[in-house]
Structure 1
Amino acid sequence: MTMESHSITPWYKQFWPWFLIGLLFSAISVSTTFAVLSVRSFDGMVQDDYYEHGTAINMVLAKQRRAAELSLAADLRIDPLTSDIIVDLEGEARPERLHLELIFPTRGDRDQEFTLEHARDGRYLGQAPDNLRYRWYLQLQPSQEDPEWRLVGEADFPSEGGFALTPALPGRD
């Protein structure tokens, strides 16, 4: 019988230790990258004063109830070529100016506010920025400070059609 001698190679010349070390270092680098990104980027959805926002919901509902009492509804259109905002307001209230807020769903720094001037017979006009895109929440009210009523809706821009703004009370279809 012959004795075969198998020479055992050192660990650093084998494949599996380097593969496992590579997995470890890739996990560390990916987790470090995500940790740095999470610290540097601000999450606009988190509210510091969530309790105050929660208690203010009754005031918001009262404004929407008041809009329903006044039989208010509006149709909003933004011309994709000229960026003109056109709001046709129906109901018993006709203020001289309307305040329109476009609220971006995920980033508070992209929210926009506009003042619309009364043109005639419930039609209000204003100017939007060019190239308005994506989905937005809409709020229409008579003034910025302590408005009497509020209409809400959603829009996806650009669009040729109009968007309905209603009181949107909970429990109503």
Structure 2
Amino acid sequence: MMSKPWYKQVWPWILISLPVFSVLKAVHTVYIMNQQSPDLVVDDYYAEGKAINQNLSLYREAAARNLHAKVLLAGNKAILTFDTNSILDEDLTLDFVHNTLAAQDFKVIAHRSGESMYVAELPVTPTGRWNLVVHDNANQWKLRASLSLPAIDAIKLTY
């Protein structure tokens, strides 16, 4: 009785399929990595480190001025309310920074609406995890908050 040639048997094909499947999966993984590269790595670490000290001084300035605020996001509007009537500019800048996707970051100008309230129109209604940084136009102070949207209540900004 003659045995079948190797290519007509099942076991060699099963053994060959394992490395072939591994190679195809590796190629697929490389493709996915190239399509969605992370935005979290910064090229110039030294310059970023120096900028951190400057940013911290802006938060300390907000603490020295005793600035406290809350933000409420209602649809495509951001309503910023300060606890006390501080001497503030007519306009403030709100930087919405997405936690992982830098392409979704955006910046809006909030206009004064009354004694201690500012209102800004948002280009999109943000959902998910965001960081909000509020600062004056002269960049003398900053407040920040971590947002998990949609939120029901107003979110307190800190320094």
- Fold conserved (TM > 0.5)? yes
The aligned counterpart of 1:106 is 100
Structure 1: gaps of 5 or more residues: 1-5, 168-173
Q: 1:134 aligns with which of 115, 122, 128?
A: 128
For residues 95 and 131 of structure 1, the distance between their equivalents in structure 2, rounded to whole angstroms, comes to 26
The aligned counterpart of 2:78 is 85
Structure 2: gaps of 5 or more residues: none
Q: Does 1:16 align with 2:15?
A: no
Match runs of 1:1-173 below 5 Å: 7-80=2-75, 83-91=76-84, 92-143=86-137, 147-167=139-159
Measure how far apart 1:8 and its partner are.
2.8
- Count of residue pairs brought into register by the alignment: 158
Residue type of the alignment partner of 2:30: A
For residues 27 and 141 of structure 2, the distance between their equivalents in structure 1, rounded to whole angstroms, comes to 49
Measure how far apart 1:130 and its partner are.
4.3
The aligned counterpart of 1:3 is none
SS where residue 64 of structure 1 aligns?
A: helix
* TM-score, scaled to structure 1: 0.84
For residues 87 and 56 of structure 2, the distance between their equivalents in structure 1, rounded to whole angstroms, comes to 18
For residues 17 and 26 of structure 1, the distance between their equivalents in structure 2, rounded to whole angstroms, comes to 14
Higher-Rg structure is 1
For the aligned residue pairs, the C-alpha RMSD in angstroms reads 1.6
* TM-score, scaled to structure 2: 0.91
Overall identity of the aligned pairs, in %: 27
